[in-house]
Amino acid sequence: MSFLDRWLPAWILVAMAVGLLMGRFIPGLNTTLEAVTIGEVSLPIAIGLLVMMYPVLAKVRYDETHRVAGDRRLMATSLVLNWLVGPALMFTLAWLLLPDLPEYRTGLIIVGLARCIAMVFIWNDLACGDREAAAVLVAINSVFQVIAFGALGWFYLQVLPSWLGLPTTSADFSVWAIVLSVLVFLGVPLLAGFLTRHVGEKAKGRTWYEETFLPRIGPWALYGLLFTIVLLFALQGEAITSNPWDVARIALPLLAYFVLMFGISLLASKAVGLSYAKSTTVAFTAAGNNFELAIAVAIGTFGVTSGQALAGVVGPLIEVPVLVGLIYVCLWAGRRLFPGDPTAPASPSRDRLSA
């Protein structure tokens, strides 16, 4: 196991701290980072995300994804958790824990609607999940995101609160922002990963590709992850450190959401008979959120200085360390929850990304 892998949680915490300090004490850094954007996402952050996702997607055996698409239990469980349970859980937690803060509440509801399409590949790979299943589920979630995001936003911000006698919020979501997020943060690395495997295997065979080429590019996934975390927190370091109490209030429902959503998803997947690898993939794809899209929608709809945008920014502040912690929980509990399952890791030290 590499030095980087062994101390990954520590490096992530250091990256978060460095980013926050840079954003707080380097004047004009956020303006510089936002000088060039893709949609509403800083170009350097977009590059970091693409570098992070490419090695993982290059490892996917695309000729085996048909077996995932044909697994009805997997597909149905994932769709229910992502598009029914997840948004409903975030709506409930936001109203229960932030009844007096409508802007932050709305921002969290938007986060709950944005299903994960980027960092989930890293979490899934580290937890020994099913790579092919992750690729298929994220692709399906992306299609649903384009189709359903606006309708679900209207339902959870206007229709459902009205039925419950609660205040409503008017929001006009940009379909273009959703499409752009999917195309850039999933389409580009997915195409690159597919072409790399196709060309590499055709030129030198699968053995060379998986035993020689993939170990060379594997560490770049973690380099991209740490680079992205530094820039992400640097971009919003001042906003986060200037509002510690607000951040704490926003963090509470987010913490509850990630833990509950992951636990519900893992146990539900086990209950329907899925293996450890597939259950893990379902759990991470359901618990994670597309913070790039949530931030872009919040900024585009309510403004860069809005409470909704701050709630979106706090999302990865909580998601990153919590899901990293859940990786280790998953690895530790794998053999206990799935006794006799050959896809469950033998020990928490199993290395996936740089091997």
SS3 289: strand
SS3 74: helix
Mean pLDDT of the 78-86 span = 96
pLDDT value at 326 more than 90: yes
Q: Which pLDDT does position 67 carry in this prediction?
A: 77
7-337 belongs to CATH 3.40.630.10: no
Q: Which pLDDT does position 74 carry in this prediction?
A: 94
- What are the pLDDT digits (tens) for 249-274? 999 999 999 999 999 999 999 999 99
Annotated domain spans of the chain: 7-337
* Alpha helices in the chain, H assignment, sequence order: 3-6, 8-25, 29-33, 43-58, 65-69, 72-80, 86-97, 102-113, 120-126, 131-154, 160-163, 175-182, 188-208, 214-217, 219-235, 237-242, 244-271, 276-287, 291-302, 307-337
Mean pLDDT of the 303-328 span = 85
Six-digit token pair at 32? 């510089």
- What are the pLDDT digits (tens) for 207-244? 999 999 999 998 898 898 889 888 878 877 777 777 78
Q: Which pLDDT does position 39 carry in this prediction?
A: 61
Q: Which pLDDT does position 304 carry in this prediction?
A: 66
> For residues 196 and 202, what is the distance between their CA atoms, to the nearest angstrom?
10
Q: Which pLDDT does position 25 carry in this prediction?
A: 85
pLDDT value at 89 more than 90: yes
Q: Which pLDDT does position 350 carry in this prediction?
A: 46
Mean pLDDT check: name the lowest of 69-83, 162-176, 293-307.
293-307
